[in-house]
Amino acid sequence: MVPGGSEPLGQPVLLGFDPGRLKCGLAIMGVDRAVLYHEVVTTDRAIATIERLRQQFPVSLVVMGNQTTAKEWKQRLSEIPTPPRVMLVDERYSSLEARDRYWQMYPPRGLASFMPRSLRSIPRPIDDIVAILLIERYLDRLTETSEI
């Protein structure tokens, strides 16, 4: 999902990357926390999509979860011709948090709005929302250390 318009960005952005075995979540967010892009892609398209996003946006850093396949993906990213800087962040419980965030971003409509959240099924993968949360965790960590 890409916002309309082709204005140049005045700030560097962060690329969130939630790598998985079958699919990967990607997100682009400004340091102002504005989400500029998010998508779920198959693992075989992840590197090409990251390279395309780095051409489209002024990505200063890739923020990636530190669990599942992080070591393998960090290695794969280092093999890109101009490798990005990669920062690993704790991704524990991010999938649970992403479920809640999904319903904030896409509130249910009609009869589904009367169902308890725990009974609603999410109609699509949410790895991209996890990628958004990873960037937010990184930015939160920066804010916490700068307030000390």
3-state secondary structure the chain: CCCCCCCCCCCCEEEEEECCCCEEEEEEEECCCCEEEEEEEEHHHHHHHHHHHHHHCCEEEEEEECCCCHHHHHHHHHCCCCCCCEEEECCCCHHHHHHHHHHHHCCCCHHHHHCCHHHCCCCCCCHHHHHHHHHHHHHHHHHHHHCC
pTM equals 0.86
pLDDT of residue 30: 94
Report which listed range, 69-73, 136-140, 141-145, is most confident: 136-140
pLDDT of residue 3: 45
Q: Region 124-143: what's the mean pLDDT?
A: 94
Range 43-78 burial, b when 16+ CB lie within 10 A, else e: eeebbebbeebbeebebebbbbbeeeebeebbebbe
Give the mean pLDDT of the chain. 88
Q: Are 19 and 88 in contact (CB under 8 A)?
A: no
Task: Kindly report, residue by residue over 77-125, the tens digit of the pLDDT.
Answer: 999 989 999 999 999 999 889 999 999 999 988 887 788 877 788 999 9
pLDDT of residue 4: 43
pLDDT of residue 145: 63
> Cβ neighbours of residue 143 under 8 Å, at least 6 residues apart?
none
pLDDT of residue 143: 78
Q: Is the pLDDT of residue 148 over 60?
A: no
pLDDT of residue 12: 87
Q: Is the model more confident about 17 or about 108?
A: 17
User: Domains plus CATH for the chain?
Assistant: 13-146 (3.30.420.140)
17 DSSP β-pair partners: 26, 64
Q: Are 64 and 74 in contact (CB under 8 A)?
A: yes
Task: Kindly report, residue by residue over 68-88, the tens digit of the pLDDT.
Answer: 788 899 999 999 989 999 999
pLDDT of residue 147: 57
